[in-house]
Amino acid sequence: MTSAPQQPPAGWYPDPAGSGGERYWDGIAWSQATRDWPTPTATDHNPIGGPQTYGSPQGGYARPIGAQATQGQPAGFWWRLLGYVIDTILVSIVGSILSSATGLSTQVQGELDRWARELLLWSEAPTGDMPMPADAFWSAMLYSTLISIIVYAAYRTILLGTLSATLGQQAVGLRTVKVGEPADSKLGWGTAAVRGIVGALLYESIGFINGIFAAFTPRKQTLSDMISKTQVLKIR
């Protein structure tokens, strides 16, 4: 019984399309990113001069020689979870400050206290229907949720658009790129906005189910990654 050949690491390799330059292999498939041959240096040990000889990813394990590429592998589930926890703490702090400033947190707490008193009185003499929260409670909760979505979407969009990584991702050595692009590529504002907004909506609506996909998909992508056609790489 033969085992499948090991895939080579992500990096720049001779373009199999025959462009005469290099094409980026992301560890799973060829990307659309190409570049000219790198200039040979004294450490390349190429007695002939000219381009280095590389192995082909389809031919088994190969490592580029003398290529100046920023490499990265799809980030594992637990690294992504740690980055998400850091981001959630930061966003929660900002959301709590805004909720307090707008009076929403006080309104929610007041409605909860009122409902608790009514439940206590009802439990002592349970006649009629069990009391439920008033409409004011649900309105306050709705506005609080909207604030949370807006803050999270803005946080993700701004940081992904400028740094291609949130603060949580930077803390654990992660970077977000378009699928198939090198680890040092810029994400772009359009993709950052889609990923930021979609991610915020998914995490508020289905919670951790969005992130659990990173444990099972080939490129370790969440639902928001798949929708925005991005992936998160571990770069250090």
- pLDDT tens for 79-122 read 999 999 999 999 989 888 888 888 888 888 888 888 888 888 88
Neighbour-count burial of 130, counting CB atoms closer than 10 A to its CB (0-12 exposed, 13-18 middle, 19+ buried): exposed
DSSP string, 5-29: PPPPPSEEEE-TT--SSEEEE-SSS
Q: CA 152 to CA 158: how far, in whole Å?
A: 10
Q: Which of 79-88, 201-210, 218-227 has the lowest mean pLDDT?
A: 201-210
Least-confidence region, from 52-56, 91-95, 156-160, 164-168 = 52-56
Q: How far apart are CA 176 and CA 233, in angstroms?
A: 6
Out of 25-29, 107-111, 169-173, 205-209, give the one with best mean pLDDT: 169-173
Residue 233 corresponds to which amino acid?
L
pLDDT at 131: 83
Residue ranges of domains in the chain:
1-51, 74-234
Residue 13's Cβ-count burial label (10 Å; 0-12, 13-18, 19+) is: buried
| pLDDT value of position 48 | 44
Q: Which residue has the higher pLDDT, 181 or 52?
A: 181
pLDDT at 193 (0 to 100): 94
Decide if pLDDT at 47 tops 80. no
Say what the pLDDT of residue 38 is.
Answer: 65
Q: Which of 26-30, 135-139, 224-228 has the lowest mean pLDDT?
A: 26-30
- 24-28, 45-49, 216-220: which range is least confident on average? 45-49
pLDDT of 64 higher than 50: no
The pLDDT value given to residue 40:
55
CA 55-73-13 angle, to 5 degrees, is: 25
* pLDDT exceeds 70 at position 18: no
- pLDDT for residue 44 is more than 70: no
Is pTM beyond 0.75 here?
Answer: no
pLDDT bin (cut points 50, 70, 90) of residue 164 is: very high
Tell how strand 11-14 and strand 22-25 pair up.
antiparallel
Q: Is the pLDDT of residue 152 over 50?
A: yes
